[in-house]
């Protein structure tokens, strides 16, 4: 007996020591990654200093204040040099007011100096000649890490540029920075244990959104003029909403995703399910249009034959024909704060006054879409595949509510749903997440079929009303950090158009007012339950933060979506 006890004690001690050593190894890797990032920042700061000594008289503020179209014009005509523009933006990022305050940068791309030399030798100037571009952490760049905020990927450098980065470079752009993301990308906050929490530049108590949160913070703070993000549930549109930017999620197949570290898609998705889309983020709609025009070129179509060879249609983007616009200010699933509904109504009135025809619309069966179509795509196996990506990692606190929920056995989830139902009001969202899984291959194929059926139903309703585009709300204003992890189902406004695979963009049109904040105190949501109260807490204290609307078109009609976004932007600026 004593031998058995000794053996058991030794085994327990060995497990404890092994866990301690594993944790120390993880912490060592994270410290090394942070040290490498800091060294990169110092090197770039030194390069800026050398440039300043050589070219002392640079009108920094004038360059940083130029919109993308104005900057490209100056670069094309030669009145500004790519070198001056690049180091002006690098200086802005490495300065105290951007990265040290928001923690938006994952790493500078040292190869940007090589690309600077490369474009000056090109025979023709591309559409983005000399433009510094920031890219999200998982968009592959040769020689750089693609971490997805996970320790396990800190040893893996990308062996080649993604197709999208190759096309950017061919068009003369200079990728110069990679931006921070939430751990595993599956969050609309922006925090991971390696590089920490990214903050909203307008209010450091608030999140920049996610998962393209580093992009949102960097562009909003003035450290980048154009960025590339990705979107599988709102990851371009939510940071754009939280940070007051314009962002476009195209139809998923419109831009190449080859050589992108698509952690979520590799694990959860299927080409016929809910695909990931790459898209631009910037300060205005014209910048998004220019970026799409530059990317939709022969180089893209040749490098990735799966991308339909459809060049950008400038005629559609520049059209002034009155539109027939569907609109709604709530999807009937997760009631948004009063300011978000207010701006949809104000935008509807402005569009109507400008001569557009406004048609009320009600999106069908959103509770079913959220739980049976969207969440089942990612958690159809009970969340096991997602949990596996955290093996050998420290879980970020912002993800713990979701991780803990996934760890509950399916039978226990069912029992909890039944036991809690008479005691508290459980939103359908929570109850369905608890029990919504694919239990067989037949279930999985039926799930894919249901998505196709829903897409057909939605398009049929759209066509019956003869709509051109849709105006609808987007989640916002910016949440206090830590709250996105508590309200996963609040993203119903954006996830709908991932399930449908429609192009959808976000345009800032207003800011939170004192009156909005007062009205928020009376907000009760569905039934003033704990989730409604959590939303109220998440968005409170937001006076002055950006408030946006969402603009949508049918698949492959990115140009029409952008044209509608431009109309909304113009009307909001006139107001």
Domain membership flag for residue 390: no
Residue in this structure with the two tokens 């800011």, named with its chain if needed: 511
CA distances for 439 relative to 192, 379, 442, 451, angstroms: 32, 11, 8, 17
CA distance 288 to 7: 65
pLDDT attached to residue 434: 54
Mean pLDDT of 456-460: 98
Q: Has residue 441 got a pLDDT over 60?
A: yes
- Residue 267 reports pLDDT greater than 70: no
Asked, for residue 394, whether it belongs to a domain, the answer is no
Tokens 């020591």, located at residue: 17
User: Rounded CA gap, 322 and 357, in Å?
Assistant: 7
In Å, how far from its chain's centre is CA 258?
Answer: 18
For residue 412, pLDDT beyond 90: no
Give the position of tokens 């800190």.
154
Give the range among 37-46, 222-231, 493-502, 547-556 with minimum mean pLDDT.
37-46
- Whole-number pLDDT of residue 88: 96
Domain boundaries, position 196? 30-365+464-574
- Is 333 a member of any domain? yes
pLDDT at residue 266, rounded to an integer: 44
Q: What is the mean pLDDT of residues 509-533?
A: 91
Q: Which residue has the higher pLDDT, 304 or 120?
A: 304
Q: What is the pLDDT of residue 13?
A: 76
Q: 268 pLDDT exceeds 70?
A: no
Report the binding-site residues for substrate. 185, 211, 232-235
Q: How confident is the model over 357-370, as a mean pLDDT?
A: 96
DSSP string, 124-140: S--TTTT-EEEEETTB-
Confidence band, pLDDT 50/70/90 cuts, at residue 428: very low
Q: Cα(201)–Cα(103) distance, rounded to whole angstroms?
A: 10
What is the C-alpha to C-alpha distance for residues 278 and 305, in angstroms, rounded to an integer? 17
Distance CA(300)–CA(318), nearest Å, equals 23
Catalytic residues: 136, 211, 235
Q: What is the CATH number of the domain that holds 284?
A: 3.90.1300.10
- Residue 15 to residues 5, 12, 22, 97, 394: CA-CA distances in angstroms? 15, 5, 10, 46, 17
Residue 403 tokens, joined: 């991780």
Tell me what the mean pLDDT of segment 112-121 comes to: 94
Q: Is the pLDDT of residue 14 over 80?
A: no
- Give the pLDDT mean for 381-396: 88
Q: Are 403 and 156 in contact (CB under 8 A)?
A: no
CA 563 to chain centre: 21
Tell me how far apart the alpha carbons of residues 340 and 132 are, in angstroms, rounded to a whole number: 33
Is the residue at 208 inside a domain?
Answer: yes
pLDDT at 228 over 50: yes
Residue of 418 and 136 predicted with greater confidence? 136
Query: Does position 163 have pLDDT exceeding 80, yes or no?
Result: yes
Q: Does residue 73 form part of some domain?
A: yes
Confidence of residue 432 (pLDDT cuts 50, 70, 90): very low
* Helices 82-94, 112-119: crossing angle, 10 deg rounding: 160
pLDDT > 60? residue 472: yes
Closest CA relative to residue 241, chosen from 449, 546, 10:
546
DSSP code of 143?
Answer: T
| Residue 270 reports pLDDT greater than 50 | no
What is residue 406's predicted lDDT score, i.e. its pLDDT?
A: 85
Residue 25: pLDDT over 70: yes
Q: Which residue has better confidence, 258 or 483?
A: 483
Alpha-carbon gap, residue 502 to 498, rounded angstroms: 7
| Phi, psi (deg, nearest 5) at residue 540 | -70, 155
Tell me how far apart the alpha carbons of residues 332 and 355 are, in angstroms, rounded to a whole number: 28
Assess if residue 505 is contained within a domain. yes
Cα–Cα distance for residue pair 569/283, rounded to 1 Å: 11
Closest C-alpha to 198, from 527, 478, 447, 556? 478
Whether residue 386 lies inside any domain: the answer is no
What is the C-alpha separation between 152 and 159, in angstroms, rounded?
17
In a domain, 358, yes or no: yes
3-state secondary structure of 174: strand
Mean pLDDT of the chain: 91
Sequence ranges of the binding site: 185, 211, 232-235
What's the token pair of residue 498?
């991932």
User: How many folded domains does the chain comprise?
Assistant: 1
Q: Which of 92-96, 127-131, 232-236, 548-552 has the lowest mean pLDDT?
A: 92-96
Q: What is the pTM of this model?
A: 0.95
Residues 6+ apart with CB under 8 A from 415: none
State what percent of residues in the chain have pLDDT above 70: 94
The predicted model gives 439-467 an average pLDDT of 94
């Amino acid at each position: 007996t004593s031998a058995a006890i000794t053996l058991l004690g030794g085994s327990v001690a060995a497990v404890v020591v092994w866990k301690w050593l594993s944790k120390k190894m993880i912490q060592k890797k994270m410290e090394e990654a942070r040290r490498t990032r800091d060294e990169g920042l110092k090197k770039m700061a030194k390069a800026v200093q050398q440039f300043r000594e050589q070219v002392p008289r640079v009108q920094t503020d004038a360059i940083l204040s130029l919109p993308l179209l104005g900057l490209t014009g100056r670069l094309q005509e030669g009145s500004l040099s790519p070198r001056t523009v690049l180091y002006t933006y690098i200086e802005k990022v490495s300065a105290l007011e951007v990265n040290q305050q928001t923690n938006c940068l994952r790493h500078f791309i040292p190869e940007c100096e090589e690309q600077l030399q490369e474009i000056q030798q090109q025979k023709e100037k591309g559409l983005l000649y000399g433009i510094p571009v920031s890219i999200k952490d998982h968009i592959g760049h040769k020689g750089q890490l693609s971490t997805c905020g996970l320790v396990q990927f800190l040893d893996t450098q990308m062996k080649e540029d993604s197709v999208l980065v190759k096309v950017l470079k061919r068009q003369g752009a200079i990728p110069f920075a990679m931006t921070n993301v939430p751990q595993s990308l599956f969050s609309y906050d922006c925090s991971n244990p390696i590089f920490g929490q990214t903050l909203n530049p307008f209010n450091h108590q608030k999140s920049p959104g996610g998962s393209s949160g580093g992009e949102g913070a960097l562009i909003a703070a003035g450290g980048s003029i154009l960025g590339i993000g990705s979107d599988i549930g709102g990851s371009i549109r939510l940071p754009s909403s939280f940070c007051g930017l314009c962002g476009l999620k195209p139809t998923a197949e419109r831009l190449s995703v080859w050589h992108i570290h698509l952690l979520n898609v590799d694990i959860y998705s299927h080409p016929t399910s809910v695909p990931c889309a790459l898209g631009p983020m910037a300060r205005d709609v014209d910048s998004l249009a220019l970026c799409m025009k530059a990317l939709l070129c022969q180089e893209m179509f040749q490098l990735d034959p799966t991308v339909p060879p459809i060049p950008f249609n400038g005629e559609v983007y520049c059209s002034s024909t009155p539109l027939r616009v569907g609109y709604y200010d709530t999807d009937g699933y997760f009631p948004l704060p009063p300011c978000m509904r207010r701006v949809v109504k104000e935008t509807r009135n402005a569009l109507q006054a400008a001569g557009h025809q406004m048609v009320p619309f009600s999106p069908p069966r959103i509770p079913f879409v959220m739980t049976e179509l969207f969440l089942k795509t990612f958690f159809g196996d009970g969340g096991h595949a997602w949990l596996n990506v955290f093996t050998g990692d420290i879980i970020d606190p912002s993800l713990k509510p979701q991780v803990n929920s996934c760890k509950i056995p399916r039978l226990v989830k069912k029992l909890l749903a039944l036991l809690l139902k008479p005691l508290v009001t459980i939103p359908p969202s929570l109850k369905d997440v608890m029990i919504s899984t694919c239990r067989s291959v037949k279930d999985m194929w039926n799930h894919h079929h249901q998505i196709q059926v829903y897409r057909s139903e939605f398009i049929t309703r759209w066509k019956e009303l003869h709509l051109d585009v849709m105006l609808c709300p987007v989640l916002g204003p910016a949440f206090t950090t830590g709250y996105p992890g508590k309200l996963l189902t609040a993203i119903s406004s954006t996830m709908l158009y991932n399930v449908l695979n429609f192009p959808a963009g976000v345009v800032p049109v207003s800011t939170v007012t004192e009156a909005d904040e007062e009205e928020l105190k009376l907000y009760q949501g569905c039934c003033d339950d704990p989730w409604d109260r959590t939303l109220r807490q998440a968005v409170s204290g937001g006076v002055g933060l950006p408030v946006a609307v969402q603009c949508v078109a049918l698949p492959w009609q990115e140009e029409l979506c952008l044209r509608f976004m431009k109309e909304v932007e113009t009307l909001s600026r006139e107001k």
